Amino acid sequence: MIAMRFRSVGWVAAVAVAALGCYIVTQRVAGERAQLTKVERAILYARRDIRRLETEIDTRSRLPQLERWNQEVLALSAPTASQFVGGEVQLASLNRPAPLPVDPALAPPPSAVRQVAFAAAPVARPTTPIVAAAATVAEPRPVLRQATYLKPAGERMSSPIQPASLRDGDFAAELARLAAAESRKERQ
């Protein structure tokens, strides 16, 4: 009878050891798979780097051919200091299309044309082949200015937030009331 009880305990222990062994095997398999995935990813990155380096080597090995094409066809050169703009205003002024040459017989007299000037100092625009045919005219240089409002000493500031209802009937009446109040303040 005692042997029967020990036999069931033995079976439970054998099943527990087998389950533990299976669990350990699956964990090792999962670890090996993770390492294999890392190695495959490293191989893909290495292949991508190899492709990039091969492309760079091919390009650099063809530099004499590229230079010959540049001299014969492309005529590319490094930018010079005069090709860089001085600021945002000068960059925005480059967006204007170049004026077309006008026949002097058809053009109005200079006294009939008035222009609004942004600044007193004229700046000459660079000439292009189209503009070179026409007379070069100095254009005024736009100037950015900042305006500041100072409240007079005796004046009281009104609240910037004023209540207004948004219902259709009351909205127009509220606007009329606010406009009347502002006109009264201006008259005083």
pLDDT per position as a tens digit, 5-57? 778 888 899 999 999 999 999 999 999 999 999 999 999 999 999 999 999 88
pLDDT per position as a tens digit, 94-147? 777 766 776 766 666 665 555 544 444 455 555 555 544 444 455 556 666 666
Domain-embedded: residue 12: yes
Domain-embedded: residue 88: no
Domain-embedded: residue 15: yes
Output the pLDDT for position 116: 46
Q: What are the start-end ranges of the E strands in 7-138?
A: 122-123
Domain-embedded: residue 113: no
Chain mean pLDDT for the chain: 75
pLDDT per position as a tens digit, 151-176? 666 666 565 555 555 555 677 777 78
Contact yes or no for 140/89 (Cβ under 8 A):
no
Domain-embedded: residue 21: yes
Instruction: Please give the biggest Cα pair distance in the chain.
Output: 131
Q: Alpha helices, DSSP H only, in 62-137? A: 63-69, 88-93, 129-133
Is the pTM above the cut of 0.85? no
Output the pLDDT for position 32: 95
Number of structural domains (the chain) is 1
For residue 65, the enclosing domain spans 2-72
Sign of dihedral through CA atoms 59, 64, 67, 68?
Answer: negative
Output the pLDDT for position 95: 77
Domain-embedded: residue 28: yes
Domain-embedded: residue 174: no
Mean pLDDT of the region 59-87: 82
Domain-embedded: residue 106: no
Whose tokens are 């008035």? That residue is: 114
